[in-house]
Amino acid sequence: MCPPLVTFDPILLTMKLLANFLCVCLALALAHADHHEDHSDLPDRCHGLEMDAAAVNEDGVPYFFKGHFLFKGFDGKAEMSNETFPELDDDHHVGHVDAAFRMHYEDSPTDHDRMFFFLDNKVFSYHEHKLEDGYPKDISEVFPGIPDHLEASVQCPKPECEEDSVIFFKGHDIYHYHVKSKAVDKKEFKTMPNCTSAFRYMGHYYCFHGHMFSKFDQKTGEIQGKYPKEASEFFAKCPKYGDDSDNVERERCSRVHLDAITSDDDGDFYAFRGNYFLHKYAGNHTLTADTIEHAFKEVHNDVDAVFSYHNHLYMIKGEQVFAYKVSDPHTLMEGFPKPIKEELGLDGPIDAAFVCEDHHIAHLIKGQHIYDVELDATPRVATNERPLSLFKKVEGAMCGPKGVNVIVGNHFYHFDSIMLFVAAKSLPDQHTVSIEMFECDH
């Protein structure tokens, strides 16, 4: 307790004022320490968490729920779920979301593009992150025939299901709810584990059980492939994985988007994600995986963009450029790293970069604009700024003899030339990075 200030002695008054000041400082320091301690108690998805629910929002960003916390995307930190969906917790004081999914069926205009959350016997409907009037409602009112206290749910559009449906899970009981007719088909997936959450992503269906997951057939419940697998290895960007983790299998099949990609003068390509990178050899198509720290120790991790030019890899991170001679081991060139502004004539951060064969122009993508940098010029200057109307965010891009592959999320789009990419007004066919670039089988 701080000392009282009642005194008429100037010296004593000064001493007591000083004591009170120190007391207040100590209290603030302790409060800060308590706050810091609470912050350190946030759950870490890289430590084997069992998620309560999973869904994809209207922008395609995965949401994972654990207790009263929410993880956005594959590398977002834990935050309070009531910061994004306040009514979930503030009005009902619930500990966690039982199940969640996004309704994306245009034939159901009143429910299209809604996110549904299930808590005990209630369902919440959100449109553009706002709770709709009249909600929460009883589950039986909105989804007749579906029980309370669900464990998981996932949308299933046609033709993946015979009709636009929602699959609900409770124990081994599976309920296919047909959106248009509101009919319910009850099934039992005997070969499936009990799902604590379920997730449709990139056209595939995943059952999360504990900190593991299995891919399943949405009609039969049959587990497809070698499962279960560790969820954090394929649905989270972690600084380190278990000692028994198969780095090549994880990195080629991860659902986490790449940070950067390039192809060198020999036709080898390098793909970077978090602390790791994949190297694919052109001659024999062999894939290897290693840590960025080991092969490019000055960069450490988290590459923003990369391009290849004259047998060098230019790796962009933050406001710096690192130039490595392609060799074994890779060697950082003298004088690097350098500021992006000094080396390429543009302020960072940069989202993607690429150089096409037989050319000496680096194409830099920053936000929704692309710039050209003449690499043979001194000094180098970013010129020819053009807007990119097709994509809000580009993760990476790579140019080859057949054109440009542009990576957005977990997919890539092929354009026959840089000119067609910049001028395009509609999306070409969508391709899956893990399957079509890295030949992942699941």
Render pLDDT for 423-438 as a digit per residue (tens, 0 to 9).
Answer: 999 999 999 999 999 9
Domain assignment of residue 40, yes or no: no
**Residue-level pLDDT at 95:** 59
Beta bridge partners of 201: 204
Whether 387 and 278 map to the same domain: the answer is yes
In this structure, of 12-26, 32-46, 87-101, the range with the lowest mean pLDDT score is 12-26
Render pLDDT for 130-158 as a digit per residue (tens, 0 to 9).
Answer: 899 999 999 999 999 999 999 999 999 99
User: What CATH code is carried by the domain that includes residue 324?
Assistant: 2.110.10.10
**Residue-level pLDDT at 268:** 87
pLDDT of 248 above 50 = yes
Given 184, 207, 235, the domain boundary residue is 235
pLDDT of 182 above 50 = yes
Render pLDDT for 290-301 as a digit per residue (tens, 0 to 9).
Answer: 999 999 999 999
DSSP string, 102-134: EE--TT-TTTTTEEEEEETTEEEEEETTEEPTT
Q: For the chain, give me the number of helices (H) and strands (E)? A: 8, 34
**Residue-level pLDDT at 285:** 78
The more confident residue out of 65 and 264 is 65
Whether 197 and 326 map to the same domain: the answer is no
pLDDT of 188 above 90 = no
Domain assignment of residue 33, yes or no: no
Residue 45, token pair as written in the block: 């998805």
Q: What H or E segment, with its residue span, contains residue 248?
A: helix 247-253
- Which is it for the CA torsion 46, 76, 236, 122, positive or negative? positive
pLDDT of 381 above 60 = yes
| Contact of 334 with 386, CB cutoff 8 Å | no
Q: How far apart are CA 348 and CA 361, in angstroms?
A: 18
Strands (E), 105-248: 114-119, 122-127, 130-131, 137-138, 152-156, 165-170, 173-178, 184-188, 197-201, 204-209, 212-215, 229-230
Residue 141, token pair as written in the block: 């009112």
Domain that includes residue 215, residue range:
45-235
pLDDT confidence tier of residue 400, bands split at 50, 70 and 90: confident
| Contact of 200 with 231, CB cutoff 8 Å | no
Render pLDDT for 268-282 as a digit per residue (tens, 0 to 9).
Answer: 889 999 999 999 888
Whether 128 and 212 map to the same domain: the answer is yes
**Residue-level pLDDT at 283:** 76
pLDDT, average across residues 30-49: 62
Render pLDDT for 369-378 as a digit per residue (tens, 0 to 9).
Answer: 999 999 999 9
- Number of domains the chain is built from: 2
**Residue-level pLDDT at 47:** 85
